[in-house]
Amino acid sequence: MPALIRIERPAAGEFNPYFSRYIDPVTGDDALDVLAGQIRDTTALLGGLSDARALHRYAPGKWSVKETLTHVTDVERVFAYRALTFARKDPTVLPGFDEGVWAPEMRSDARPLADLVDELKAVRAATLALFHGLDADALAFVGTANASPLTPRAAAWIIAGHELHHRRILQERYGLGA
Domain holding 118, by residue range, is: 42-172
Half-sphere exposure of 108 toward its Cβ, with a 13 Å CA cutoff? 27
* Domain-located, residue 29: no
* Domain-located, residue 15: no
* Domain-located, residue 23: no
Give the Cα separation of 28 and 49 in Å (integer). Answer: 29
* Domain-located, residue 7: no
* Domain-located, residue 177: no
pTM: 0.96
Residue 112 has pLDDT above 50, yes or no: yes
Query: Residue 155 — pLDDT band, cuts 50, 70, 90?
Result: very high
CATH number at residue 65: 1.20.120.450
Number of domains in the chain: 1
* Domain-located, residue 8: no
* Domain-located, residue 150: yes
